[in-house]
Amino acid sequence: MNPYAAYLPSGLTAVDAEEPSSTWWTWEDIDVHVLRRPRPGAPYRLLVLHGGGGHAGALWPLAEAAAGEEAELIAPDLPGFGRTRVPRRRAVAYDDWVSSMSAFVAAERRRDPRPLILLGASMGGMLAYDVAGRTRAADAVVATCLLDTRLDAVRVGVARSPVLGRIGARIMPLARPLDRLPVPMRWVANMNAIANDPQLARLCATDPLGGATSMPVRFLRTWFAGVPAVEPEDFDVCPVVLAHPAEDRWTPVELSRSFFERLQAPKRLVMLEGAGHFPVEQPGVGQLAEAVATVARDLRPAGASAT
């Protein structure tokens, strides 16, 4: 049984769901591990993108709960995390996340014409937005966070400590000679706040596929220096739902609100009541599932059946 499933409320589909199939997809010299729950007759597909302390398996129970039975579910391990294989000679950059997932989404759309919703958690929220903006191939984006690292408040908020956030933002541009140096995620990220349940936070922080991994300085440097693929005022690709945990002790909604409010695309803010950064609590889990279901219904042609 997936250990993360134990932290979702009892009775959810995720706890008793079948094991996902494990597949592989190659981008450049990286073998990307992808979990899948095929549903050939499902009206839409949900592609789930994790953040900087998770992996596909960690999010899978939550993704199953959010998707219900109506969606085909896809969850890749981003380069540097999970079981995705990155050559030792390669120092992963944040753009490797955006470029690989853009190529992956484009390949998925060529393979299957059904509507595709991107669900991004934590850092994966802005990643989902960037991929949608770069490819114009997503039908909707649902994000738990939209973190614009150009803002001082975001840099300070995501770091392990405010001092590290302030100093790190200024020294990162000078760190290029150290690009290949691996840095444990727990040194730079406030992993204690990744979940409101201390045991779940500990599981995330000690998971060798997630929070206990190390990422090269290049990844941190390029993420802090990242610029959205499309500025929010110009984003016209698809609807965006910010489904933000209301009890997020790491990245409160204020850190995402400024970017979200600048969006000119159809948008909606949903607060996941009682839920922490890793939103496993009720009623937040149910509200996330309803947000995804509402987006999917809006995409469905008039008169179309749910099955």
Per-residue pLDDT of 28-46, as tens digits, reads: 999 999 999 999 999 999 9
pLDDT tens digit sequence for 274-287: 999 999 999 999 99
Mean pLDDT of the 47-72 span: 94
Full-prediction pTM beyond 0.85? yes
Q: How does the average pLDDT of the chain come out, rounded? A: 91
Nearby residues of 270 by Cβ (< 8 Å), 6 or more positions away: 241, 242, 243, 244, 287, 288, 291
The rounded distance, in Å, linking the Cα atoms of 229 and 222 is 14
CA 150 to chain CA centroid, Å, is 19
Cα dihedral 19→270→126→164 (10° resolution): -100
How many domains does the chain contain in total?
Answer: 1
- Backbone torsion region of residue 70, taken as left when φ is above 0, otherwise alpha when ψ lies between -120 and 50, otherwise beta: alpha
Cα–Cα distance, 150 to 153 (Å, whole number): 9
Quick one: pLDDT band at residue 115, thresholds 50, 70, 90?
very high
Q: Which of 93-97, 161-165, 279-283 has the lowest mean pLDDT?
A: 161-165
267 Cβ contact partners less than 8 Å away, ≥ 6 residues apart? 239, 240, 241, 242, 260
User: Is a pLDDT exceeding 70 seen at residue 203?
Assistant: yes
pLDDT of residue 188: 84
Nearest C-alpha neighbor of 96 from the set 231, 236, 221: 221
Specify the CATH number for the domain of residue 286: 3.40.50.1820
pLDDT at residue number 99: 98
What pLDDT does 70 receive? 84
CB-based burial label for 280 (10 Å; 0-12, 13-18, 19+) = buried
Residue 304 lies in a domain: no
CA angle 194, 24, 22 (to 5 degrees): 65
Widest Cα–Cα separation across the chain: 58
Confidence check: pLDDT of 306 > 50? no
Residue 43 lies in a domain: yes
Q: Which residues are registered as beta bridge partners of 259?
A: none
Query: Sorting pLDDT into bands at 50, 70 and 90, what band is 16?
Result: very low
Range of the domain at 38: 3-299
Alpha-carbon distance of 119 to 122, in angstroms, equals 10
Answer whether residue 15 shows pLDDT above 60.
Answer: no
User: What is the pLDDT confidence band of residue 225, given thresholds at 50, 70 and 90?
Assistant: confident
In a domain, residue 173? The reply is yes
Structure tokens at 139: 């039908």
